[in-house]
Chain A
Amino acid sequence: MSSWRRTVGVNAHWEVTRLRRSRRLWLLLIPPVAGPVGSAVADLYLRIPSAATAEILGLLVTAGLASLILLDLTALTVGEDLTHRADLLFVPLPQDRTAALAGRLLVSVGGCVGAYLVGALAVWVLGGALVTPPAPGLLPRAALFLPEHLLLAIPSLLLFLAGVTAAAAAFTRRPSEAIVAGVLAGVVVAGGAAYLLSQGELTLLFPELLAVAGAGAIGWTLATTARSAA
């Protein structure tokens, strides 16, 4: 096994230890549990008329919860050691700093995306069962867009938010400020998506751009971490 891969593995395990010790690991249960349950209650209360609309609502609720947890975990993964100056303990160790941070982000970002996907799967299974049929003779309004597109677009949104939050944490060295940056980025993305939707111009290009921007921000964070001074 190469040194780089070994470092990624050791630090992924280290991140799991940190999540376990800080109890933050439990947060990853929220999207797959609260997302489907919460949206199911909303489906029934709002008398959702079609399976597609129920799936969209469920995916948005699950993605919202996953996003909030992602902001928290990513900000702490990058910024907590900088705030505590624990980097003075870990940087002198014989390991590649880029690989070390990559291993840790793999767990925090990957864990949140994975939690979202589990929740999305549950929403997909439950969505059709929670529809309230419209009155006889009426057709349900069409959904805003295909839920399959949303299902695939949300991981791009999560990657974008992770990138913005990680870069902000590396820049400010404070998780709290990184979370604020992530929230603001989420608001901008939501506003942009709503505008494009209202104009009928929301295409898959939008999440693709988000994914590229997010990956770029994470790459910048890794490069910055590798050469930054503690």
Chain B
Amino acid sequence: MATSALRLDGVTYRYGDRTALSGLSFSVAPGEAVGYLGPNGAGKSTTLKLVAGVLRPTSGTVEILGAAAGVDARAHLGALIETPGVPPYLRGADVLEYVAAVRGMPPLDRAEAVRRASAALGVHERLGTPVGELSTGLHRRLLIAAALVGDPEILVLDEPTLGLDPLARHDLREALRALRASGRTLLVSTHLLDDVEAVCDRVLFLRDGRLVGDEPVREGGPSNAPGDRRTVILQFAKRVPPSAVRALLGPDESVTDSAETELAVELPGDDLRQAELIAAIVGAQLPLVGARPARDRLTQRYLQAVGREDP
């Protein structure tokens, strides 16, 4: 079995005189979910196009499950690259059935494959509608469903939540989490750090075609599996000293000032522990007005990696 689901080794790509990627090397382990972050023009979409076989590297190698990224290797890959248009007169079912046929599925199995992929993205009831009549969000979900047809082991998604409303974005995140939980390998390029935090184990930072960061999404742990430590921001109506919260939690928990009326509390990351904390604080009649995961740290790491110190 290949040790890497995806591996790029010294990949350079040039558009004419412009170098889009320069000596890019990284790998993604089977079952791993990796976020791929970088500013506009950093080379994210170019990387994904190379993986998906849309482009060929100027130099270097791209491997999928240990094999060169050719036609055969792409049988293991589902990809959404940028925002493909689909001729407006086609039905969603036409597109998904075509993908199933290209993937070599027997005719009798195609309907079930289409149903599963479309149901995962919540577009199964609109498969008979011409694509030109679908909303932007439904169109996006249809394209992702097309990448899922045939249950490929590896998914490469470029801005998967682009154009989705909050509810659809939440649903898609849940779908991606379910895919990750089922053992799929994910490489997700996005500008939305919340998406990376919700779905990914690891994050790669790209700037000017070069990898400038490769680290776990959550600081202090290799993954977001239950049992890892997690930081929660508590918001109070007025300033509360850290010692007041630490007295409730015990000396092992880290409690620090996060802002004028906020405390950053590091605690075991399962939901039950958080609930116990909230209950303890409410019981102590501290002026708690809210609690949220400490997501801003990824933003800060992203900005430091791509060249800005602070937002």
- Hey, which bits of chain A sit against chain B, CB under 8 A? 6-7, 10, 13-14, 17-18, 21-23, 80-81, 83-96, 227, 229-230
Contact = CB atoms under 8 A, between A and B. Distances in A.
A88 B46 CA distance: 12
Nearest to A89: B84
Contacts, number: 86
B75 interface: yes
A89 B85 CA distance: 8
A130 B87 CA distance: 44
A22 to B, nearest CB: 5
Given A88-B54, A92-B52, A95-B71, A6 B85 contact: no
B141 to A, nearest CB: 14
Contact of A94 (B81, B82, B102): B102
Contacts of B99: 93
B83 interface: yes
Contact of A91 (B54, B72, B143): B54
Interface of B: 49, 52-56, 71-75, 77, 79-87, 89-91, 94-95, 98-99, 101-104, 130, 143, 146, 156
B84 A94 contact: no
Given A14-B98, A94-B75, A89 B146 contact: yes
B183 to A, nearest CB: 20
A85 B85 contact: yes
A18 B90 contact: yes
Contacts of A83: 85
Smallest CB-CB A-B distances: 3 pairs? A84-B85, A92-B52, A89-B84
A14 B156 CA distance: 25
A7 B73 CA distance: 16
B87 A18 contact: yes
A7 B72 CA distance: 13
Contact of A80 (B53, B71, B87, B130): B87
B87 A86 contact: yes
Question: Counting chain A CB atoms within 10 Å of each CB, which of B74, B90, B101 scores highest?
Answer: B101
Contacts of B73: 94
Contacts of A80: 87
Nearest to A23: B89
Nearest to B77: A92
Contacts of A89: 80-81, 84, 86, 95, 143, 146
